[in-house]
Structure 1
Protein backbone atom coordinates (compact mmCIF):
# COMPACT_ATOMS: atom_id res chain seq x y z
CA UNK A 1 0.00 0.00 0.00
CA UNK A 2 1.29 3.43 -0.93
CA UNK A 3 2.21 5.88 1.80
CA UNK A 4 1.66 8.90 -0.43
CA UNK A 5 -1.36 11.14 0.14
CA UNK A 6 -3.48 11.94 -2.92
CA UNK A 7 -6.64 12.91 -1.06
CA UNK A 8 -8.53 15.51 -3.08
CA UNK A 9 -6.71 14.72 -6.34
CA UNK A 10 -8.53 13.66 -9.50
CA UNK A 11 -6.90 11.18 -11.87
CA UNK A 12 -7.54 9.81 -15.35
CA UNK A 13 -5.90 6.46 -16.18
CA UNK A 14 -5.92 5.29 -19.80
CA UNK A 15 -6.12 1.60 -20.50
CA UNK A 16 -7.39 1.32 -16.95
CA UNK A 17 -9.91 -1.47 -17.51
CA UNK A 18 -7.44 -4.27 -16.85
CA UNK A 19 -3.83 -5.23 -16.19
CA UNK A 20 -1.35 -2.56 -15.19
CA UNK A 21 -3.85 0.23 -15.75
CA UNK A 22 -6.39 -1.29 -13.38
CA UNK A 23 -3.67 -1.77 -10.77
CA UNK A 24 -2.56 1.83 -11.15
CA UNK A 25 -6.12 3.09 -10.80
CA UNK A 26 -6.55 1.00 -7.66
CA UNK A 27 -3.31 2.31 -6.15
CA UNK A 28 -4.24 5.92 -6.90
CA UNK A 29 -7.64 5.38 -5.32
CA UNK A 30 -6.08 3.71 -2.29
CA UNK A 31 -3.91 6.80 -1.86
CA UNK A 32 -7.06 8.92 -1.79
CA UNK A 33 -7.54 10.08 -5.39
CA UNK A 34 -10.84 10.03 -7.26
CA UNK A 35 -10.22 8.04 -10.43
CA UNK A 36 -11.59 7.96 -13.96
CA UNK A 37 -10.94 4.83 -16.03
CA UNK A 38 -10.47 5.71 -19.71
CA UNK A 39 -10.73 2.74 -22.05
CA UNK A 40 -12.36 1.35 -25.18
CA UNK A 41 -13.48 -1.76 -23.25
CA UNK A 42 -16.68 -0.44 -21.73
CA UNK A 43 -17.95 -3.60 -20.02
CA UNK A 44 -14.60 -4.43 -18.45
CA UNK A 45 -13.97 -0.81 -17.56
CA UNK A 46 -17.28 -0.53 -15.76
CA UNK A 47 -16.51 -3.72 -13.84
CA UNK A 48 -13.21 -2.21 -12.70
CA UNK A 49 -14.99 1.00 -11.69
CA UNK A 50 -17.56 -0.96 -9.71
CA UNK A 51 -14.79 -2.82 -7.88
CA UNK A 52 -13.17 0.49 -6.98
CA UNK A 53 -16.47 1.84 -5.72
CA UNK A 54 -17.00 -1.26 -3.61
CA UNK A 55 -13.69 -0.48 -1.90
CA UNK A 56 -14.98 2.99 -1.05
CA UNK A 57 -13.28 4.92 -3.85
CA UNK A 58 -14.82 7.57 -6.08
CA UNK A 59 -14.55 6.20 -9.61
CA UNK A 60 -16.05 6.78 -13.04
CA UNK A 61 -15.78 5.11 -16.43
CA UNK A 62 -14.92 7.41 -19.34
CA UNK A 63 -15.06 6.01 -22.91
CA UNK A 64 -11.75 6.80 -24.59
CA UNK A 65 -9.97 5.77 -27.77
CA UNK A 66 -6.54 7.27 -27.12
CA UNK A 67 -5.78 7.57 -30.84
CA UNK A 68 -8.71 9.96 -31.38
CA UNK A 69 -8.11 13.66 -30.69
CA UNK A 70 -11.80 14.48 -30.33
CA UNK A 71 -12.28 11.53 -27.97
CA UNK A 72 -9.48 12.90 -25.78
CA UNK A 73 -11.08 16.33 -25.68
CA UNK A 74 -14.40 14.81 -24.64
CA UNK A 75 -12.75 12.49 -22.10
CA UNK A 76 -10.94 15.28 -20.29
CA UNK A 77 -14.11 17.36 -20.24
CA UNK A 78 -16.09 14.40 -18.90
CA UNK A 79 -13.47 13.67 -16.27
CA UNK A 80 -13.46 17.27 -15.02
CA UNK A 81 -17.26 17.27 -14.92
CA UNK A 82 -17.55 13.88 -13.21
CA UNK A 83 -14.76 14.26 -10.65
CA UNK A 84 -14.71 18.02 -10.19
CA UNK A 85 -11.25 18.55 -11.63
CA UNK A 86 -8.18 16.88 -13.10
CA UNK A 87 -4.77 16.72 -11.42
CA UNK A 88 -3.23 13.47 -12.67
CA UNK A 89 -3.15 11.81 -16.08
CA UNK A 90 -1.58 8.37 -16.44
CA UNK A 91 -0.92 7.51 -20.09
CA UNK A 92 -0.90 3.74 -19.71
CA UNK A 93 -2.82 2.49 -22.77
CA UNK A 94 -0.54 0.54 -25.08
CA UNK A 95 -0.28 -2.43 -27.43
CA UNK A 96 2.53 -4.84 -28.19
CA UNK A 97 2.61 -6.96 -31.35
CA UNK A 98 5.56 -9.32 -31.49
CA UNK A 99 7.40 -9.76 -34.79
CA UNK A 100 10.85 -10.32 -36.20
CA UNK A 101 11.99 -7.33 -38.22
CA UNK A 102 12.10 -9.43 -41.40
CA UNK A 103 8.40 -10.23 -40.94
CA UNK A 104 7.07 -6.78 -40.03
CA UNK A 105 3.48 -6.03 -41.06
CA UNK A 106 3.05 -2.31 -41.80
CA UNK A 107 -0.50 -2.36 -40.41
CA UNK A 108 0.78 -3.71 -37.09
CA UNK A 109 3.56 -1.11 -37.03
CA UNK A 110 1.01 1.66 -37.57
CA UNK A 111 -1.19 0.26 -34.81
CA UNK A 112 1.64 0.40 -32.26
CA UNK A 113 2.67 3.86 -33.39
CA UNK A 114 -0.90 5.13 -33.12
CA UNK A 115 -1.68 3.70 -29.68
CA UNK A 116 1.70 3.94 -27.98
CA UNK A 117 3.06 7.15 -29.47
CA UNK A 118 0.10 9.16 -30.77
CA UNK A 119 -2.07 8.10 -27.85
CA UNK A 120 0.52 9.27 -25.34
CA UNK A 121 1.15 12.52 -27.22
CA UNK A 122 -2.56 13.32 -27.30
CA UNK A 123 -2.82 12.47 -23.63
CA UNK A 124 -0.10 14.99 -22.81
CA UNK A 125 -1.73 17.57 -25.08
CA UNK A 126 -5.11 17.36 -23.42
CA UNK A 127 -3.68 17.07 -19.92
CA UNK A 128 -1.82 20.34 -20.53
CA UNK A 129 -4.91 22.05 -21.92
CA UNK A 130 -7.02 21.02 -18.94
CA UNK A 131 -4.45 21.56 -16.17
CA UNK A 132 -2.66 24.73 -17.26
CA UNK A 133 -3.77 28.15 -15.97
CA UNK A 134 -7.10 29.00 -17.58
CA UNK A 135 -7.82 25.36 -18.39
CA UNK A 136 -10.92 23.45 -17.34
CA UNK A 137 -9.12 22.28 -14.19
CA UNK A 138 -6.43 24.94 -14.11
CA UNK A 139 -4.43 23.91 -11.05
CA UNK A 140 -1.42 22.22 -12.64
CA UNK A 141 -0.73 18.60 -11.84
CA UNK A 142 1.23 15.56 -12.93
CA UNK A 143 1.39 13.42 -16.05
CA UNK A 144 2.88 9.94 -15.73
CA UNK A 145 3.61 8.14 -18.99
CA UNK A 146 4.18 4.40 -19.14
CA UNK A 147 7.24 3.55 -21.22
CA UNK A 148 8.94 0.15 -20.84
CA UNK A 149 12.23 -1.51 -20.05
CA UNK A 150 12.05 -2.31 -23.77
CA UNK A 151 13.10 1.31 -24.33
CA UNK A 152 16.42 0.63 -22.62
CA UNK A 153 17.40 -2.90 -23.74
CA UNK A 154 17.65 -4.80 -27.04
CA UNK A 155 15.27 -7.73 -26.61
CA UNK A 156 14.50 -9.68 -29.80
CA UNK A 157 11.05 -9.71 -31.36
CA UNK A 158 9.84 -6.34 -30.09
CA UNK A 159 11.65 -3.82 -32.28
CA UNK A 160 8.69 -1.55 -33.03
CA UNK A 161 7.28 -1.75 -29.52
CA UNK A 162 10.72 -0.84 -28.20
CA UNK A 163 10.94 2.08 -30.61
CA UNK A 164 7.54 3.41 -29.57
CA UNK A 165 8.45 3.19 -25.89
CA UNK A 166 11.72 4.99 -26.57
CA UNK A 167 9.54 7.63 -28.20
CA UNK A 168 7.43 7.87 -25.03
CA UNK A 169 10.64 8.63 -23.13
CA UNK A 170 11.50 11.49 -25.52
CA UNK A 171 7.94 12.83 -25.45
CA UNK A 172 8.12 12.88 -21.67
CA UNK A 173 11.27 14.96 -21.56
CA UNK A 174 10.25 17.51 -24.19
CA UNK A 175 6.80 17.86 -22.63
CA UNK A 176 8.35 18.49 -19.22
CA UNK A 177 10.51 21.23 -20.71
CA UNK A 178 7.58 22.86 -22.52
CA UNK A 179 5.43 22.76 -19.40
CA UNK A 180 8.13 24.43 -17.36
CA UNK A 181 8.99 27.07 -19.95
CA UNK A 182 5.35 27.96 -20.55
CA UNK A 183 4.35 27.99 -16.88
CA UNK A 184 1.77 25.22 -17.09
CA UNK A 185 2.57 23.86 -13.65
CA UNK A 186 2.39 20.27 -14.86
CA UNK A 187 5.17 17.82 -14.07
CA UNK A 188 5.75 15.11 -16.69
CA UNK A 189 7.58 11.88 -15.93
CA UNK A 190 7.57 8.27 -17.09
CA UNK A 191 8.31 4.84 -15.71
CA UNK A 192 10.01 1.90 -17.43
CA UNK A 193 8.18 -1.22 -16.25
CA UNK A 194 9.88 -4.59 -16.44
CA UNK A 195 7.98 -7.65 -17.62
CA UNK A 196 4.84 -8.25 -15.55
CA UNK A 197 2.76 -11.44 -16.03
CA UNK A 198 -0.42 -9.61 -17.02
CA UNK A 199 -2.38 -10.69 -20.08
CA UNK A 200 -0.05 -8.60 -22.26
CA UNK A 201 3.11 -9.85 -20.57
CA UNK A 202 2.05 -13.48 -20.79
CA UNK A 203 1.16 -13.04 -24.46
CA UNK A 204 4.61 -11.60 -25.18
CA UNK A 205 6.29 -14.64 -23.63
CA UNK A 206 4.12 -16.92 -25.74
CA UNK A 207 4.71 -14.91 -28.91
CA UNK A 208 8.52 -14.86 -28.69
CA UNK A 209 8.43 -18.63 -28.20
CA UNK A 210 6.01 -19.11 -31.09
CA UNK A 211 8.26 -17.24 -33.54
CA UNK A 212 11.22 -19.42 -32.57
CA UNK A 213 13.28 -17.09 -30.41
CA UNK A 214 12.93 -19.39 -27.40
CA UNK A 215 12.16 -23.07 -27.05
CA UNK A 216 9.17 -22.52 -24.78
CA UNK A 217 7.26 -19.91 -22.81
CA UNK A 218 9.12 -21.03 -19.70
CA UNK A 219 12.45 -20.50 -21.43
CA UNK A 220 11.39 -17.00 -22.53
CA UNK A 221 10.34 -16.06 -19.01
CA UNK A 222 13.53 -17.57 -17.63
CA UNK A 223 15.58 -15.41 -19.99
CA UNK A 224 13.90 -12.27 -18.65
CA UNK A 225 14.39 -13.34 -15.05
CA UNK A 226 18.02 -14.16 -15.85
CA UNK A 227 18.55 -10.59 -17.08
CA UNK A 228 17.00 -9.16 -13.91
CA UNK A 229 19.33 -8.66 -10.93
CA UNK A 230 16.44 -9.01 -8.47
CA UNK A 231 15.72 -12.42 -9.95
CA UNK A 232 11.98 -12.17 -10.49
CA UNK A 233 9.32 -10.75 -12.76
CA UNK A 234 7.66 -7.48 -11.86
CA UNK A 235 4.33 -7.26 -10.10
CA UNK A 236 1.45 -4.91 -10.87
CA UNK A 237 1.90 -3.30 -7.45
CA UNK A 238 5.56 -2.49 -8.23
CA UNK A 239 4.48 -0.39 -11.19
CA UNK A 240 1.40 1.07 -9.54
CA UNK A 241 3.26 2.32 -6.48
CA UNK A 242 5.84 4.03 -8.71
CA UNK A 243 3.03 5.86 -10.50
CA UNK A 244 1.54 6.99 -7.19
CA UNK A 245 4.95 8.29 -6.12
CA UNK A 246 5.44 10.32 -9.29
CA UNK A 247 1.90 11.69 -9.05
CA UNK A 248 2.36 12.73 -5.43
CA UNK A 249 3.96 15.72 -3.74
CA UNK A 250 6.84 13.47 -2.74
CA UNK A 251 7.96 13.93 -6.37
CA UNK A 252 7.25 17.67 -6.42
CA UNK A 253 10.73 18.58 -7.74
CA UNK A 254 10.91 15.72 -10.25
CA UNK A 255 10.02 16.33 -13.89
CA UNK A 256 11.35 15.11 -17.21
CA UNK A 257 12.57 11.92 -15.56
CA UNK A 258 12.34 8.25 -16.46
CA UNK A 259 12.10 5.90 -13.49
CA UNK A 260 13.16 2.28 -14.09
CA UNK A 261 10.87 -0.16 -12.28
CA UNK A 262 12.46 -3.26 -13.73
CA UNK A 263 14.43 -4.97 -10.97
CA UNK A 264 17.65 -3.67 -12.55
CA UNK A 265 17.06 -5.32 -15.94
CA UNK A 266 17.71 -2.18 -17.94
CA UNK A 267 20.76 -0.84 -16.09
Structure 2
Protein backbone atom coordinates (compact mmCIF):
# COMPACT_ATOMS: atom_id res chain seq x y z
CA UNK A 1 0.00 0.00 0.00
CA UNK A 2 1.36 3.43 -0.92
CA UNK A 3 2.18 5.97 1.78
CA UNK A 4 -0.68 8.44 2.47
CA UNK A 5 -0.20 11.86 0.88
CA UNK A 6 -0.86 15.32 2.25
CA UNK A 7 -3.46 17.17 0.18
CA UNK A 8 -2.94 20.94 -0.18
CA UNK A 9 -5.02 23.37 -2.22
CA UNK A 10 -3.46 26.78 -2.88
CA UNK A 11 -4.97 29.80 -4.63
CA UNK A 12 -2.95 32.58 -6.23
CA UNK A 13 -0.04 30.24 -6.85
CA UNK A 14 1.28 31.53 -10.17
CA UNK A 15 3.46 34.38 -8.83
CA UNK A 16 4.70 36.21 -5.74
CA UNK A 17 4.45 34.56 -2.34
CA UNK A 18 1.91 32.06 -3.70
CA UNK A 19 4.43 30.75 -6.23
CA UNK A 20 7.11 30.63 -3.54
CA UNK A 21 4.79 28.60 -1.29
CA UNK A 22 3.98 26.22 -4.11
CA UNK A 23 7.68 25.70 -4.89
CA UNK A 24 8.48 25.03 -1.23
CA UNK A 25 5.62 22.54 -0.86
CA UNK A 26 6.44 20.40 -3.89
CA UNK A 27 7.11 16.89 -2.62
CA UNK A 28 6.43 13.29 -3.65
CA UNK A 29 4.28 12.90 -0.52
CA UNK A 30 2.10 15.96 -1.20
CA UNK A 31 -0.79 16.19 -3.65
CA UNK A 32 -0.77 19.89 -4.56
CA UNK A 33 -3.61 21.64 -6.39
CA UNK A 34 -2.82 25.21 -7.48
CA UNK A 35 -5.68 27.49 -8.54
CA UNK A 36 -4.82 30.73 -10.34
CA UNK A 37 -5.95 32.78 -13.31
CA UNK A 38 -2.83 31.55 -15.13
CA UNK A 39 -0.82 28.36 -14.74
CA UNK A 40 2.96 28.44 -14.33
CA UNK A 41 5.10 26.40 -16.72
CA UNK A 42 8.25 26.71 -14.60
CA UNK A 43 6.41 25.34 -11.56
CA UNK A 44 5.20 22.41 -13.66
CA UNK A 45 8.77 21.66 -14.75
CA UNK A 46 10.06 21.88 -11.18
CA UNK A 47 7.35 19.47 -10.01
CA UNK A 48 8.28 16.93 -12.68
CA UNK A 49 11.95 17.06 -11.70
CA UNK A 50 11.00 16.53 -8.05
CA UNK A 51 8.55 13.72 -8.89
CA UNK A 52 5.97 15.82 -7.02
CA UNK A 53 2.25 15.47 -7.83
CA UNK A 54 0.99 18.83 -9.10
CA UNK A 55 -2.33 19.86 -10.61
CA UNK A 56 -2.76 23.43 -11.88
CA UNK A 57 -6.10 24.99 -12.76
CA UNK A 58 -6.55 28.11 -14.82
CA UNK A 59 -9.52 29.51 -12.93
CA UNK A 60 -10.87 33.05 -12.59
CA UNK A 61 -11.65 33.29 -8.88
CA UNK A 62 -14.06 36.15 -9.59
CA UNK A 63 -16.33 33.34 -10.83
CA UNK A 64 -16.79 32.42 -7.20
CA UNK A 65 -19.63 29.92 -7.57
CA UNK A 66 -17.91 28.22 -10.51
CA UNK A 67 -14.60 27.94 -8.66
CA UNK A 68 -16.25 26.56 -5.52
CA UNK A 69 -18.30 24.02 -7.47
CA UNK A 70 -15.22 22.89 -9.39
CA UNK A 71 -13.31 22.39 -6.14
CA UNK A 72 -16.18 20.53 -4.51
CA UNK A 73 -16.50 18.09 -7.42
CA UNK A 74 -12.73 17.54 -7.48
CA UNK A 75 -12.56 16.91 -3.73
CA UNK A 76 -15.46 14.46 -3.94
CA UNK A 77 -13.44 12.46 -6.47
CA UNK A 78 -10.50 12.05 -4.06
CA UNK A 79 -9.99 8.95 -1.92
CA UNK A 80 -9.66 10.13 1.70
CA UNK A 81 -8.13 6.82 2.77
CA UNK A 82 -5.10 7.72 0.62
CA UNK A 83 -4.68 11.11 2.33
CA UNK A 84 -2.84 11.91 5.56
CA UNK A 85 -4.23 15.47 5.83
CA UNK A 86 -6.17 18.12 3.92
CA UNK A 87 -5.31 21.83 3.79
CA UNK A 88 -6.76 24.82 1.95
CA UNK A 89 -4.66 27.99 1.60
CA UNK A 90 -6.62 31.01 0.36
CA UNK A 91 -3.83 33.28 -0.86
CA UNK A 92 -5.23 35.10 -3.90
CA UNK A 93 -6.09 38.80 -3.66
CA UNK A 94 -6.20 41.87 -5.89
CA UNK A 95 -5.92 45.64 -5.53
CA UNK A 96 -8.36 48.05 -7.11
CA UNK A 97 -7.29 51.33 -8.68
CA UNK A 98 -5.50 53.23 -5.93
CA UNK A 99 -7.55 56.14 -4.64
CA UNK A 100 -10.69 57.03 -2.70
CA UNK A 101 -13.64 54.66 -2.89
CA UNK A 102 -15.68 56.96 -5.12
CA UNK A 103 -12.93 57.06 -7.76
CA UNK A 104 -12.59 53.27 -8.04
CA UNK A 105 -14.21 51.65 -11.09
CA UNK A 106 -17.31 49.65 -10.14
CA UNK A 107 -16.06 46.50 -11.86
CA UNK A 108 -12.75 46.84 -9.99
CA UNK A 109 -14.51 47.00 -6.63
CA UNK A 110 -16.67 44.00 -7.49
CA UNK A 111 -13.64 42.00 -8.63
CA UNK A 112 -11.61 42.86 -5.52
CA UNK A 113 -14.37 41.75 -3.17
CA UNK A 114 -15.14 38.61 -5.14
CA UNK A 115 -11.53 37.46 -5.36
CA UNK A 116 -10.48 38.70 -1.93
CA UNK A 117 -13.47 37.71 0.21
CA UNK A 118 -16.28 35.92 -1.59
CA UNK A 119 -14.01 33.32 -3.23
CA UNK A 120 -12.22 32.38 0.02
CA UNK A 121 -15.58 32.01 1.76
CA UNK A 122 -17.09 29.80 -0.94
CA UNK A 123 -13.92 27.72 -1.37
CA UNK A 124 -13.69 27.27 2.40
CA UNK A 125 -17.35 26.21 2.52
CA UNK A 126 -16.77 23.62 -0.22
CA UNK A 127 -13.61 22.35 1.49
CA UNK A 128 -15.28 22.03 4.90
CA UNK A 129 -18.38 20.43 3.38
CA UNK A 130 -16.53 17.63 1.57
CA UNK A 131 -13.81 16.97 4.13
CA UNK A 132 -16.51 17.01 6.82
CA UNK A 133 -18.19 14.17 4.92
CA UNK A 134 -14.86 12.31 5.05
CA UNK A 135 -14.79 12.75 8.83
CA UNK A 136 -18.31 11.34 9.05
CA UNK A 137 -17.09 8.16 7.35
CA UNK A 138 -14.30 7.73 9.89
CA UNK A 139 -11.39 9.62 8.28
CA UNK A 140 -9.30 11.34 10.95
CA UNK A 141 -6.63 13.31 9.11
CA UNK A 142 -6.12 16.90 10.28
CA UNK A 143 -8.02 19.55 8.29
CA UNK A 144 -6.70 23.10 8.08
CA UNK A 145 -7.74 26.34 6.38
CA UNK A 146 -5.10 29.07 6.17
CA UNK A 147 -6.37 32.43 4.93
CA UNK A 148 -3.65 34.87 3.88
CA UNK A 149 -4.78 38.17 5.32
CA UNK A 150 -2.99 41.50 5.76
CA UNK A 151 -2.26 44.12 8.37
CA UNK A 152 -4.54 46.32 6.25
CA UNK A 153 -7.47 44.19 7.40
CA UNK A 154 -6.74 45.38 10.94
CA UNK A 155 -5.41 48.90 10.32
CA UNK A 156 -7.20 50.83 7.57
CA UNK A 157 -5.31 52.75 4.89
CA UNK A 158 -6.52 55.55 2.66
CA UNK A 159 -6.68 54.69 -1.04
CA UNK A 160 -7.50 50.98 -0.67
CA UNK A 161 -10.85 50.73 1.12
CA UNK A 162 -11.87 47.63 -0.85
CA UNK A 163 -8.67 45.70 -0.08
CA UNK A 164 -8.91 46.66 3.61
CA UNK A 165 -12.56 45.56 3.65
CA UNK A 166 -11.83 42.22 1.98
CA UNK A 167 -9.06 41.38 4.44
CA UNK A 168 -11.11 42.52 7.46
CA UNK A 169 -13.95 40.31 6.23
CA UNK A 170 -11.51 37.43 5.79
CA UNK A 171 -10.34 37.81 9.39
CA UNK A 172 -13.87 37.86 10.75
CA UNK A 173 -15.29 34.99 8.70
CA UNK A 174 -12.27 32.96 9.88
CA UNK A 175 -13.22 33.73 13.48
CA UNK A 176 -16.84 32.72 12.86
CA UNK A 177 -15.99 29.51 11.02
CA UNK A 178 -13.42 28.58 13.68
CA UNK A 179 -16.19 28.84 16.28
CA UNK A 180 -18.43 26.62 14.13
CA UNK A 181 -15.70 23.99 13.75
CA UNK A 182 -14.87 24.07 17.47
CA UNK A 183 -18.39 22.72 18.13
CA UNK A 184 -17.64 19.57 16.11
CA UNK A 185 -15.84 16.49 17.50
CA UNK A 186 -13.20 16.54 14.74
CA UNK A 187 -13.56 20.08 13.45
CA UNK A 188 -11.14 21.81 11.12
CA UNK A 189 -8.65 24.42 12.35
CA UNK A 190 -8.76 27.86 10.71
CA UNK A 191 -6.32 30.77 10.83
CA UNK A 192 -6.31 34.15 9.07
CA UNK A 193 -2.63 35.09 8.96
CA UNK A 194 -0.98 38.40 8.04
CA UNK A 195 2.32 37.51 6.32
CA UNK A 196 4.15 40.81 6.82
CA UNK A 197 5.15 43.27 4.09
CA UNK A 198 6.46 41.42 1.04
CA UNK A 199 8.32 42.60 -2.06
CA UNK A 200 5.76 41.52 -4.68
CA UNK A 201 3.94 42.97 -7.69
CA UNK A 202 1.33 44.34 -5.28
CA UNK A 203 3.97 46.47 -3.56
CA UNK A 204 5.17 47.71 -6.95
CA UNK A 205 1.59 48.68 -7.76
CA UNK A 206 1.27 50.59 -4.49
CA UNK A 207 4.57 52.46 -5.03
CA UNK A 208 3.30 53.56 -8.44
CA UNK A 209 0.25 55.25 -6.89
CA UNK A 210 -0.63 58.89 -7.43
CA UNK A 211 0.45 60.81 -4.29
CA UNK A 212 -2.63 63.01 -4.62
CA UNK A 213 -4.85 59.90 -4.40
CA UNK A 214 -2.71 57.82 -2.04
CA UNK A 215 -1.54 59.56 1.16
CA UNK A 216 0.44 56.48 2.29
CA UNK A 217 2.65 56.47 -0.83
CA UNK A 218 5.77 57.77 0.95
CA UNK A 219 5.51 54.99 3.54
CA UNK A 220 5.55 52.25 0.91
CA UNK A 221 8.44 53.84 -0.97
CA UNK A 222 10.30 54.05 2.34
CA UNK A 223 9.74 50.37 3.11
CA UNK A 224 11.43 49.47 -0.17
CA UNK A 225 14.30 51.93 0.16
CA UNK A 226 15.01 50.90 3.77
CA UNK A 227 15.06 47.18 2.91
CA UNK A 228 12.11 46.39 5.18
CA UNK A 229 10.30 44.14 2.68
CA UNK A 230 10.49 40.37 3.00
CA UNK A 231 11.26 38.41 -0.14
CA UNK A 232 8.44 36.15 -1.37
CA UNK A 233 10.63 33.16 -0.46
CA UNK A 234 11.22 34.38 3.11
CA UNK A 235 7.54 35.16 3.61
CA UNK A 236 6.48 31.78 2.22
CA UNK A 237 8.83 30.00 4.60
CA UNK A 238 7.36 31.88 7.59
CA UNK A 239 3.78 31.23 6.52
CA UNK A 240 4.36 27.51 5.96
CA UNK A 241 6.13 27.26 9.31
CA UNK A 242 3.01 28.77 10.94
CA UNK A 243 0.87 26.20 9.15
CA UNK A 244 2.98 23.42 10.68
CA UNK A 245 2.76 24.77 14.24
CA UNK A 246 1.32 22.24 16.72
CA UNK A 247 -0.96 24.99 18.07
CA UNK A 248 -2.27 26.01 14.63
CA UNK A 249 -5.81 27.30 15.09
CA UNK A 250 -5.46 28.32 18.73
CA UNK A 251 -5.30 31.93 17.56
CA UNK A 252 -7.69 32.29 14.58
CA UNK A 253 -6.41 35.74 13.58
CA UNK A 254 -2.65 36.09 13.71
CA UNK A 255 0.44 37.82 12.27
CA UNK A 256 3.75 36.13 11.44
CA UNK A 257 5.45 39.06 13.19
CA UNK A 258 3.73 38.26 16.52
TM-score, normalised to structure 1, is: 0.79
CA pair 210-53 structure 1, distance change in 2 beyond 3 A: farther
Work out whether 1:94 is the aligned partner of 2:93. Answer: yes
CA drift of 1:135 comes to 6.5
Please name the residue that 1:245 is paired with.
241
Please name the residue that 1:103 is paired with.
103
1:83-134 per-position Cα deviation (integer Å, ceiling 9, x unaligned): 9556011001111112223423332221111111101101210110122143
CA drift of 1:191 comes to 1.1
Query: For 1:20 and 1:133, how far apart are their aligned partners in 2?
Result: 31
SS of 1:177's equivalent in the other structure is helix
Please name the residue that 2:197 is paired with.
195
Please name the residue that 1:123 is paired with.
123
Q: Is the 8 A contact 1:12 1:37 kept in 2?
A: yes
Query: For 2:91 and 2:130, how far apart are their aligned partners in 1?
Result: 18
CA pair 225-63 structure 1, distance change in 2 beyond 3 A: closer
Query: For 1:27 and 1:118, how far apart are their aligned partners in 2?
Result: 27
Work out whether 1:10 is the aligned partner of 2:10. Answer: no
Query: For 2:198 and 2:248, how far apart are their aligned partners in 1?
Result: 29
| RMSD of Structure 2 on Structure 1 (CA) | 3.1
Unmatched 5+ residue regions in structure 1?
Answer: 1-6
Work out whether 1:19 is the aligned partner of 2:16. Answer: yes
Q: Is the 8 A contact 1:37 1:45 kept in 2?
A: no
Q: Is the 8 A contact 2:32 2:53 kept in 1?
A: yes
SS of 1:259's equivalent in the other structure is strand
Query: For 1:116 and 1:252, how far apart are their aligned partners in 2?
Result: 26
CA drift of 1:24 comes to 1.5
CA drift of 1:175 comes to 1.0
Match of 2:49 among 51, 54, 62: 54
SS of 1:241's equivalent in the other structure is helix
Query: For 2:144 and 2:77, how far apart are their aligned partners in 1?
Result: 19
Query: For 1:26 and 1:32, how far apart are their aligned partners in 2?
Result: 14
CA drift of 1:224 comes to 3.8
CA pair 116-104 structure 1, distance change in 2 beyond 3 A: same
CA pair 112-104 structure 1, distance change in 2 beyond 3 A: same
Please name the residue that 2:67 is paired with.
71
CA drift of 1:160 comes to 1.4
CA drift of 1:142 comes to 0.5
SS of 2:208's equivalent in the other structure is helix
Query: For 1:183 and 1:190, how far apart are their aligned partners in 2?
Result: 22
CA drift of 1:195 comes to 2.7
Please name the residue that 1:3 is paired with.
none
Q: How many residues align?
A: 248
CA drift of 1:253 comes to 5.2
Query: For 2:136 and 2:209, how far apart are their aligned partners in 1?
Result: 43
Please name the residue that 2:134 is paired with.
134
Query: For 2:128 and 2:222, how far apart are their aligned partners in 1?
Result: 40
Please name the residue that 2:177 is paired with.
175
83-92 vs 117-126, which deviates more?
A: 83-92
CA pair 183-31 structure 1, distance change in 2 beyond 3 A: farther
Query: For 1:208 and 1:119, how far apart are their aligned partners in 2?
Result: 29
SS of 1:174's equivalent in the other structure is helix
Query: For 2:20 and 2:229, how far apart are their aligned partners in 1?
Result: 16
